[in-house]
Amino acid sequence: MATITDLEGRQVDRANATGLTPVVFIHGLWLLPSSWDRWAAVFEEAGYTPLTPGWPDDPQTVEEANARPEVFAHKTVGQVADHFGEVIGGLVRKPAVIGHSFGGLLTQIIAGRGLAAVSVAIDPAPFRGVLPLPISALKSASPVLGNPANRNRAVPLTYEQFRFGFANAVSEEEATELYREYAVPAAGAPLFQAATANLNPWTEAKVNSKNPERGPLLIISGEKDNTVPWAIANASFKKQKRNPGVTEITEIAGRGHALTIDSGWREVADTALAFVKRFT
């Protein structure tokens, strides 16, 4: 598995040189680190140093990703969590960590390891102990889970699949633009890991929600999210609120799974920023 890239190393060095609180952004499936670029600018302006590491072997651009989909294959939740842990291990100051979708699950794993000063999980993928399986979530995952061979593949979404799973709460015109600008293939393995987490005691899709070093956690849920509906986000919250740290959940009205990249992204970014500011 790839180690820290030159770009990630430069981001770590820059964060350490500024002396400011770092904010590590973790993207989910079917997106790249560049999906956080506008967020990074907002947090930089607010006095933080943003880092946007990739999953191991992430291409730099959407065009490159779509031309070489095979690089996404075989990435597991544990491998990716360890990679982000390695990046964070190079920081002098404990960072805020913000993740979306599977990045939201990874954020909670990182926080459960005691590596985050504060964390925000946006429409987070479920972990072991989170039981609800709404029909819309199963439909969103079906492009991958429908074929067992996809566990070892990189799987792209058709526009129709992206429209349902990500962009159901925006106009057709915006959905088309988001698909063109952001959508890339994704590893199939993490979806199979999440789907079987409650059947596998040794799953990598698990979170140490009781670690007193977890730090404050906010879960953000998009009201119209088909991929991670409120039932899943709220079940994650109920597991996490047993932690002695601050645990909160909020719902953003009228928003789908694309809430971090669509035209309403700033409302979500400001919600996350306000929470981070309370604890840093």
Give all domains of the chain, ordered by start, each with its CATH number.
6-279 (3.40.50.1820)
Q: Is the pLDDT of residue 176 over 80?
A: yes
pLDDT at 62: 96
pLDDT at 150: 94
Give me the pLDDT at residue 224, please: 98
Mean pLDDT of 76-93: 97
Tokens linked to 254: 């009228």
Residue 1 has pLDDT above 60, yes or no: no
pLDDT in tens, 212-245: 999 999 999 999 999 999 999 999 999 999 999 9
What's the confidence (pLDDT) of residue 133?
Answer: 86
Report the predicted TM-score, pTM, of the whole model to 2 decimal places.
0.97
Tell me the β-bridge partners of 23.
50, 96
Residue 215 and residue 207 in contact, taking contact as beta carbons nearer than 8 Å:
no
pLDDT tens for each residue of 3-47: 899 999 999 999 999 999 999 999 999 999 999 999 999 999 999
Q: Average of pLDDT values for 87-107?
A: 98
Alpha helices in 91-206 (DSSP H): 102-112, 135-145, 159-165, 172-182, 189-195
User: Residue 97 and residue 121: Cα distance in Å, rounded?
Assistant: 8
Residues 109-112: contacts with CB under 8 Å, at least 24 apart: 109/77, 109/81, 109/206, 109/207, 109/208, 110/26, 110/81, 110/84, 110/85, 111/211, 111/214, 111/215, 111/217, 112/207, 112/208, 112/209, 112/211, 112/214
The mean pLDDT of 84-107, rounded to a whole number, is: 98
Q: What is the model's pLDDT at position 2?
A: 53
Averaged pLDDT for residues 70-93: 96
**pLDDT tens-place string over residues 244-262:** 999 999 999 999 999 999 9
**pLDDT for residue 279 is more than 80:** yes
Query: Can you list the positions of beta strands (E) in the chain?
Result: 22-26, 49-51, 96-100, 118-122, 154-155, 186-187, 217-222, 247-252
List of residues 6+ apart from 55 with CB closer than 8 A: 27, 72, 75, 80, 83, 187
Residue 93, pLDDT above cutoff 90:
yes
What is the per-residue pLDDT across 119-164, written as a single tens digit (0 to 9) for each? Answer: 999 999 999 999 988 999 999 999 999 999 999 999 999 999 999 9
